[in-house]
A and B are shown apart, each in its own frame.
Chain A
Amino acid sequence: MSTVHPDELTSKRLAGQEPEPQLGAEMHGALGDGTLVVDPAVRPPLVLGNRDLHSVTETICGWAENKPGKWWTPAFLTANGLAAVGTLMILYLITTGVGVWGLNNPVGWGWAIVNFVWWVGIGHAGTLISAILCIFKQKWRTSINRFAEAMTIFAVICAGMFPGIHVGRVWFAWFMFPIPNSNAIWPNFRSPLLWDVFAVGTYFTVSLLFWYMGMIPDIATLRDRAFKRLHASSGMGKVQVAIGKVRAYAYGALAMGWRFNFRAWQNYEKSYILLAGIATPLVLSVHSVVSFDFAVSIIPGWHTTIFPPYFVAGAIFSGFAMVLTLLIPARELYPGMKDFVTQRTLENMCKIITVTGSMVGFAYGMEFFIAWYSASSYEQQAFIIRAMGPYWWAYFIMITCNVISPQVFWFKWARTTPWFIFIVSIVVNIGMWFERFVIVTTLSADFLPSSWGYYSPTYVDVLTFVGSLGVFMTFFLLFCRFLPMLAISEVKNVMPAADPHHPAGGAH
């Protein structure tokens, strides 16, 4: 077999056996930004643009320090407006009652639970990227983990909102927690809804700690730079100095007195891997518990043993899609971000989407097959109604978006073309929302045909969901504005400059 391959030359160059090309001469389509090498003997670079360590700090801190692009304020105001609409809807709900939603009997769980599961699921990609890929020593994760973890936190906040307002009498929401009270009323410990409270609560706590702890050195960098700017502030107006002081002290408080000494780094590394280890089972357990909400019941179409891993795969699937939905525009909007989030990174994420999407497809197939194989007429009927009943359109959207659409990433062009990935990522987000919708509307045709009904949402349902998107985007834009979007120290760690044995490395 011939060993000639289009990227032969590039491989040699990257391995240092050929001189570096003139910039632009090499950039032919097959290699994209230079990271799409397929030669198995070559590892593509993780950071592009011949950067040294200082320029990494400059670029990433710059995003938080400099004025954002013109797009930021309108985007932030829009997100805020949507969040405000959502808040109004929630106020209307609380003052009036859950009757303002489209819930009926038998569909006692509507959009609220769909949104809850959708948001929790989205969070999972952040934990997978930061914890599981860390344990698997996947270095490409360093450029996206901070971003994805932030997404996790905000998604879980949005998720937690829905059960809270779904309880009907919101002022009794504290009943969800096993708090001793004078009436000796306890939550039902045998109910998966209670386990959800614990699972999601644990998940939020651990994710927040993991995210925050990982960010401390980078916040300290921002702090030091803020103070430096303050000291060099001759010629600044009083207001600017005051803002600068607030910035410096806020970062200072958040950095918790971090000094960049050896011992601190050693402890940091140790706690990072420990938290990664603790977060790893959470990736599986949280959505498994969410799946129990459905699967422990004896509703046909809900009670099936594959639910836990199937929900986990779906969660990672939708989460990666959401990361891509946010990452691809950010990559265009923030100068220099493409040097870190390379086409290779996007390609890897697309592959994970195809894998998890196929797992979800496998689970759909198994559910259908076993429903038939079970010879239980109720099981069979539930699936026939799902695919061909009044909600056939939702089922159709689900299959198209979740099983068929990710298969486009078998083609290299599709998984390396950012605008196209962006479109597919949105399609996947829609599909995963509909998956939960399909599951929930299984209720509309239960055991008693006389009580079958059709569920449709009201405008309050729709706008509350839109409001949660607004809340999510508001948080996210604030994160992009004020915090280090990429893990500065981790990115530096995977650069050749950090390797003392490398020609460009530290030990000269």
Chain B
Amino acid sequence: MAHAIADKSKLLSAANTALPVGAGRMASLALLALGGITIALTILGAVLGDDTAKKVALASFHVGFLVTLGLALGSMILVMILHQVNAGWSATIRRQLENVMSMIPVCLVFFLPVAILAPMIFHWMDPHYTDGDVVYAAKASFLNKPFFYVRAVIYFGAWLYFSQRLYRLSIGQDSDGDRWRSAKARKMSSYGLLIMALTTAFAAFDWMMSLDYHWFSTMFGVYFFAGFIGVATSLCALILIILRRAGVMEGLVTQEHLHDLGKLMFGFVVFWAYIGFSQYFLIWYGNIPEETMWFQVRRTDGWMPYSVALAFGRFVIPFVVLMARPARRNPMILATVAIWLLAFNALDLFWVVRPTVHTPDGHSIMFGWLDAVAILGPVCIFFGLLVRKIASNPVVPVNDPRMDEGIAHKNYV
């Protein structure tokens, strides 16, 4: 017994749980610089370009914002679920999810330009489109500018509150070792999940579904929930693999934890596909024009290859790869799949948002350099700041009451 305790204190020593001073600074600076350059290029492209280029830049910047938001929200939902189900194994991995979750304020900053310039891509805000539109008139009491902004304030208010409270509870435990903080976090997570379900669903309606404001689907909120939580799991696995290579977390995060994260990635890949397929399938089978129009755009006008790529890249390929046990236990393969899924999540959001932008005569505009820089901008800055965040705290919640279980975690079957 004494032996085990000595081991534990060694595992949780500063050398194993804290990154050296200045670690990751170069990576962070490089990412921030890349983010700065791409944002500058986006602005340049938008200012010098015509009206359509401006719309393209904003829509793709919106995609970039949604990518970062999805990572943060997905991580927060996962943290809440892990608290709720009292998951002992997650003690050593949870801090990385918390780091991502605490980046919500950064997402808020990215949202500001979208919110200010919204009428450019949210056609329902533009009287040019809505004049005499009876369908819009029927939903105008929900889709109107003041209420749109009020809702955004409510969503961000809730997200900021929960992310910062949960983050502080965890960080505070590092210093005072009070295990009742975990009980508090657990309690918060219960009603927190309820609020998260509603806010993410309506945020998806507001910021994605309303881009095509005639179209509607009850599943839309769940679709994003499913995608976000999966991609948050992937990012968590990726961060842990990188940290392990940096020489910390020895014996804290092992192959066993990666294996379980791989299982969760697999599970969420399937869940995303299940939700996505159900949504597509029911609309396809019903074949009612007011519903099929959304998919019709994405099946024609050059968007079809994107749809096919999404089905294969976001489901079939990771499904097959992650099915194999050795793949889930191999850090290199798992990291590759994680990066792959992060990229295809971006494609998913691009596929949802960007086909709503047309040339003045109604033609689609395919992916171009402006899209690339506009998406990369917020994403690079997000990751640059995330690296700093990771380096600023112990890489595991050192005083978590479940730490023993987390360290001892094994997959026997």
Residue contact A309 to B401, C-beta cutoff 8 Å:
no
- In the complex, the chain B residue whose C-beta lies closest to that of A358 is B194
Name the contact of A375 in the complex, choosing from B135, B180, B274, B285 (C-beta under 8 A): B135
B286 within 8 A of A: yes
Partner of A309, one of B205, B222, B290: B222
- CB of B182 within 8 A of chain A? yes
Measured CB to CB, the closest approach of chain B to A268, in angstroms, equals: 12
Chain B residue at minimal CB-CB distance from A410: B190
**Within the complex, which residue of B180, B197, B287 is in contact with A3, where a contact is CB–CB below 8 Å?**
B180
CB distance from B148 to the nearest CB of A (A): 14
**Interface on B for A, CB 8 Å cutoff?**
85-86, 88, 134-135, 138-139, 142, 176, 178-183, 186, 190, 194, 197-198, 201, 205, 214, 216-222, 263, 270, 274-275, 278-279, 282-283, 285-288, 290, 401-402, 413
Q: In the complex, how many angstroms separate the beta carbon of B153 from the nearest chain A beta carbon?
A: 20
Please determine whether A269 and B138 come into contact, CB atoms closer than 8 angstroms. Answer: no
Residue of A nearest to B134 (CB): A375
CA A305 to CA B275, docked complex, whole Å: 9
Is A461 an interface residue, CB under 8 A from the partner?
Answer: no
Are A307 and B216 interface neighbours, CB within 8 A? no
- For residue B198, which residues in chain A have a CB less than 8 angstroms away from its CB? 362
User: Does A3 lie within 8 Å of B219, measured CB to CB?
Assistant: no
Measured CB to CB, the nearest residue on chain B to A38 is: B183
Given known contacts A1-B180, A295-B282, A373 and B216 CB-to-CB distance under 8 angstroms: yes
Q: Does A304 contact B (CB under 8 A)?
A: yes
Given A41-B401, A305-B283, is A273 in contact with B413 using a C-beta cutoff of 8 Å? yes
Given contacts A269-B413, A305-B218, contact A40 B402 (CB under 8 A): yes
B282 x A5 contact (CB < 8 A): no
Q: Is the CB of A40 within 8 A of B186?
A: yes
Query: Which of A109-117, A330-338, A363-371 is the interface stretch?
Result: A363-371
How many angstroms between the C-alpha atoms of A358 and B193 in the bound complex? 11
The interface residues of chain B lying within 8 Å CB-to-CB of A295 are 282
Could you list which residues of chain A lie within 8 angstroms of chain B, going by C-beta atoms? 1, 3, 5, 38-41, 43, 135-136, 269-270, 273, 281, 284, 288, 292, 295-298, 303-309, 358, 362-363, 366-367, 370, 372-376, 410
Please give me the residue from chain B that is nearest to A295 by CB atom: B282
Could you list some 17 contacts between A and B, CB below 8 A?
Answer: A1-B180, A1-B181, A40-B180, A41-B401, A135-B263, A269-B413, A309-B222, A309-B274, A309-B278, A366-B218, A370-B218, A373-B139, A373-B205, A374-B290, A375-B134, A375-B135, A375-B139
User: Whole-angstrom distance between the alpha carbons of A135 and B260 in the complex?
Assistant: 10
> In the assembly, what is the distance between CA of A303 and CA of B218, in Å?
10
Report chain B residues within 8 Å CB of A367: 218
Main secondary structure of the interface of B (DSSP, over half): helix
Closest CB-CB distance, B186 to chain A, in whole Å?
Answer: 7
Given that A40-B183, A284-B274 are contacting pairs, would A1 and B178 also be in contact in the complex, using a CB cutoff of 8 Å?
A: yes
- Asked whether, in the complex, the Cβ of A39 is within 8 Å of the Cβ of B413, the reply is no
Q: Quick check: A296 and B286 within 8 Å, CB to CB?
A: yes
Residue of A nearest to B288 (CB): A298
Q: How far, in Å, is B276 (CB) from chain A's closest CB?
A: 10
How far apart are the CA atoms of A307 and B274 in the complex, in Å?
12
A residues in contact with B221, CB < 8 Å: 366
Contact between B180 and A362 (Cβ–Cβ < 8 Å)? no
Choose one: B88, B216, B219, B413; the contact of A374 (CB below 8 Å): B216
The answer to whether B180 and A5 touch across the interface, beta carbons within 8 angstroms, is yes
Say whether, besides A1-B178, A295-B282, A306 and B218 are in contact (CB < 8 Å). yes
State how many angstroms separate the Cβ of A127 from the closest Cβ of chain B: 16
| A286, chain B: closest CB distance, angstroms | 13
Residue of B nearest to A307 (CB): B282
Complex Cα gap A358–B134 (Å):
34
A269 to B413, CA, bound (A): 8
A298 and B286 alpha carbons, distance in the complex (Å)? 6
Other CB < 8 Å A-B pairs besides A303-B282, A306-B218, A370-B216, 15 of them?
A40-B402, A136-B85, A269-B413, A288-B274, A292-B282, A297-B286, A305-B283, A306-B222, A307-B278, A308-B278, A358-B197, A370-B217, A373-B205, A374-B290, A375-B214
Contact B279 A305 (CB under 8 A): yes
A296 touches B182 (CB 8 A): no
Contacts known (A273-B413, A309-B278); A376 close to B290, Cβ less than 8 A? yes
Complex: how many Å from CA A410 to CA B216?
33
Q: A40-B186, A306-B219, A306-B222 are in contact. Are A296 and B139 (CB under 8 A)?
A: no
Q: Contact between B178 and A40 (Cβ–Cβ < 8 Å)? A: no
Does A373 lie within 8 Å of B142, measured CB to CB? yes
Specify which of A304, A305, A362 lies most central, judged by the most chain B CB atoms within 10 Å of its CB: A305
Number of A-B residue pairs with CB-CB distance less than 8 Å in the complex they form: 95
Given the known interface contacts A40-B186, A366-B221, A370-B217, the answer about A375 and B278 at a Cβ–Cβ threshold of 8 Å is no
- Cβ-defined contact, A304 with B183, below 8 A: no
What's the least CB distance linking B212 to chain A, in Å? 13
* A366 touching B201 in the complex, CB below 8 Å, given contacts A305-B218, A305-B278, A374-B216: yes
- Whether A296 lies near B285 (C-beta < 8 A) is yes
Residues of B near A269 (CB, < 8 A) are: 413
Q: Complex Cα distance A372/B176, Å?
A: 51
Cβ B182 vs Cβ A40 within 8 A? yes
Chain A residues whose C-beta falls within 8 Å of the C-beta of B413 in the assembled complex? 269-270, 273
Measured CB to CB, the nearest residue on chain B to A281 is B270
Please give, as numbers and ranges, the residues of chain B lying within 8 Å of A362 by CB-CB distance.
197-198, 201
Residue of B nearest to A135 (CB): B263
Are B282's CB and A305's CB within 8 A? yes
Report the Cα distance A135→B138, complex, angstroms: 47
B282 to A40, Cβ gap below 8 A?
A: no
| CB of B396 to closest CB in A, whole Å | 16
The CA-CA distance from A1 to B134 in the complex, in Å, is 58
Q: Which residues of A contact B287 (CB under 8 A)?
A: 298
List of B residues within 8 angstroms of A308 by Cβ: 274, 278, 282
Q: A296-B282, A303-B282, A305-B218 are in contact. Are A40 and B179 (CB under 8 A)?
A: yes
CA distance A288 to B219 in the complex (A): 13
Kindly provide the distance from the CB of A242 to the nearest chain B CB, expressed in whole angstroms.
43
Contact across chains for B218 and A3 when beta carbons are under 8 A apart? no
Q: Kindly state the separation between the CA atoms of A1 and B139 in the bound complex, as whole angstroms.
A: 49
Known contacts being A303-B282, A309-B275, A373-B139, is A40 close to B218, with CB within 8 Å? no
Which of chain A's residues has its CB closest to B194's CB? A358
B338 → chain A closest CB, angstroms: 21
Contacts of B134 in A (CB 8 A): 375
For residue A284, which residues in chain B have a CB less than 8 angstroms away from its CB? 274
A297 to B288, CA, bound (A): 11
- State the Cβ distance, B357 to closest chain A Cβ, in Å: 23
Q: Take A305-B219, A362-B197, A374-B216 as given contacts and tell me if A3 and B282 are in contact as well, using a CB distance cutoff of 8 Å.
A: no
Chain A residues whose CB sits within 8 angstroms of the CB of B263 once the complex forms: 135
Minimum-distance CB pairs A-B, first 10: A375-B138, A306-B218, A41-B401, A305-B219, A40-B182, A308-B278, A296-B285, A40-B401, A366-B218, A374-B216
CA distance A281 to B214 in the complex (A): 34
Chain B nearest CB from A295 CB (Å) reads 5
- Distance (Å) between the CB of A498 and the closest chain B CB? 13
Set of chain B residues within 8 Å of A307, measured between Cβ atoms: 278, 282
Using CB atoms, name the residue of chain A closest to B275.
A309
Q: In whole angstroms, what is the CA distance A108 to B183 when docked?
A: 52
Residues of A within 8 A of B214 (CB): 375
Q: In this complex, what residue of A is CB-closest to B411? A: A137
Q: What are the residues of chain B within 8 A of A370 when measuring CB–CB?
A: 216-218
- A11 CB to nearest B CB, Å: 9
User: Is A363 a contact of B218 with CB atoms below 8 Å?
Assistant: yes
Which A residues are in CB contact (< 8 Å) with B286?
296-298, 303
From B190, B197, B218, give the contact of A304 (CB < 8 A): B218
Q: Which of A136, A367, A373 neighbours the largest number of chain B CB atoms within 10 Å of its CB? A: A373
The smallest beta-carbon distance between B404 and chain A, in angstroms, is 9
Question: How many angstroms between the C-alpha atoms of A429 and B328 in the bound complex?
Answer: 40
Give Cα distance in the complex from A12 to B285, angstroms: 60
Residue of A nearest to B290 (CB): A376
Q: Provide the bound-state CA to CA distance between A377 and B246, in Å.
A: 60
| A363: B residues at CB distance < 8 A | 218
Q: How far is the CA of A366 from the CA of B200 in the complex (A)?
A: 13
Contact between B290 and A40, CB atoms less than 8 A apart: no
